[in-house]
Structure 1
Amino acid sequence: MQNPFYITLPYDDLNDSIAFANRCTNVPWANDPGYAGHCTDQAFSYMKNRWVAITGPNGSTCYGQIEDAGPSSGSLYHDSVYVFGATNARPVNKMFSGDPTQGAGMDVSPALNGCLGYADLDGDNDHVSWHFVDAIDVPAGPWTEIVTTSPVVLEVGTAPAAPTGVNATAGNATATLTWTAPPNGGSPITSYTITPHTGATNLTPTTITGTPPATSTSIPGLTNGTAYSGTRSARLGLNTGTEPLGDSTLAQTINVPATGTSTLTFWYQPHSADTGCSGASCSRDWMEGQIRSTTGTTLASLFKLNSNTGAWTQVTANLAAYKGQTITLWFNVHLNGPNPTDDTWMYLDDVALTTG
């Protein structure tokens, strides 16, 4: 259950990329017991459930817990000077207030509204004073009858499974493909990409979009009497919509033969509206591939970068170091949140293990 005495402040330390990057510098209790060591933990909030003491228009001091971020708009959810500053700064936000000199800097629940003596429900003409307090310093009152302890829960979809029941019917210089949509991994499937091959040559891909996309299409421009094959690539990341803070992953556990020379090959196609990077320099959005142990320990990096070339790129790796072992191939697109929205995604295709 949630404490009915709750507030919001304009510092979103999880979904705002600036607030997330600077929270261990800005948040005064970042190094306190229970908080220390979570600077890069994308499932941990330094703000949620924190106590605030508020003195209202009626002179009463009431207490509430932070539940969410606001009031603000656009890319202003990192107002550290107002939230944490010692100079009584006014909010950067200039909206949601009846006071022409400043915007709203806090939302309060109906329970706090009544406790503080607001003139009306929205309180856009009411003024308060407030400060953070430790839980041990919160006096007993109606605000301690139900105390919120639940953490932030991030819901990030995994990559969809591959389509099943794929069938191709030949026509005159065309082929009609049908398939069954796979489980979507928690996020709607918005497109399929089909790439015909003749021998080792990739032909022009066909992309089907929609919400959901159709599960059939016609591939034109083929040559009668020529053998073709086709693939459906897996998409990781987000190519449209509001960018979340989290990871879109795809993993496969394989057994590397104890004899012979085993080689891993795969192709990826990168797309991004974010800043390009490579390796350890990547701190915003990126895409990567790793070899991991079955317990999740990183054994080797196959690639890590951010790019918008849109070109299919092949990666080859010698797996001699893992002969006779069970390993996990792990692919990921990391997204750093919606401020600004700069979607990043990649297509993954033709993952193969050959032993000679």
Structure 2
Amino acid sequence: MKIAFHAPLKSPDHPVPSGDRQMARMLIEALRVAGHDVGIASELRTFSREASDAAFSALRKEAEREIARIRRLWQSKGPPDLWFCYHPYYKAPDLIGPALSADFSIPYVTAESSYSFRRNLGAWKLAQDEVAAGARQAAVNICFTHRDREGLEAPIPEVRSALLAPFIDVSPFRDLRRTEAGGNRLVAVAMMRTGDKMDSYRMLARALALVADVPWTLTVVGDGPARADVSEAFSAFPAGRLDWLGERPPQAIPEILAGGDLYVWPGCGEAYGLSYLEAQAAGLPVVAQHTAGVPEVVRNGETGYLTTAGDIDALAAALRHFLVDGTLRRQFGERARRFVFEQRSLPAAAARLSGIFAEFVGSAK
């Protein structure tokens, strides 16, 4: 099929890296692996940081101009077979796809659409009404976690939904040579910003303080506006225990992970976390919390340990298990690598997408 792809939160071509941008790119690649012709339909970003009637009205006008532009293009060159929208939610609704899909009688599909009861007020309600209408119109709403699926179906029971497990491109990890650092090299990859990321950094620092008697070093990959706060959270540790690498390009991450022994990231509020999959693809077991979407990407007791949310003692105990037992660490790491390569790769995602389209959209054109 010829697919028009749109990500209203952040275009796949946006210059600032993030999990959203990475997932959008992965979806495009998986669709192409499945045999589809995918093009980015629009660069329009409908993200609003704060609720505002005036701002939403302005976005609507921008969207109307974009609809008119795309309509003229399609009338001249022909419409696609399907509109695919990634991650519409109350702060970034799809204000283009539903109208064009209806005008040209093509299927509308969403991935990672979400709905929040708490946002049914003021300008957020205006945006969320658009998300709900799009979810109802969609031939299928593709969800990456059971949690997200339940969150969409509860307020909008008539929606059609299907599950697609989070995935990554495993090819950069295929020929990696593990250079185990002796069991004590911990790795964390995360942006430095306020909110859930900062909460995870602080929790990690507190857990590491409880295993200070065991030899370890922590490599941190990431940067951002909360860098000073992150540094302060780890200020009690000797300088030799922390290796701050800053922001690194995506192509550098596999080798960094391959030089570690254990991936540790509490995961406060994580939608799912593609970094967990990358770490496992590199052969690293994971220590994180059993919270939000993390259980969708880490097999507790098989590829890592997921501890009770908020329990710092339990997080530290899980760390200690891996730090002192190299055999356990290698067993979990080997299972983690197999799990990602066999079940969370681009080919696996492409096959699942083909099945979803066959069930909800019809045979590929």
Q: State the TM-score, normalizing by the size of structure 1.
A: 0.26
In terms of fraction of residues, the more strand-rich structure is 1
Question: Radius of gyration: which is bigger?
Answer: 1
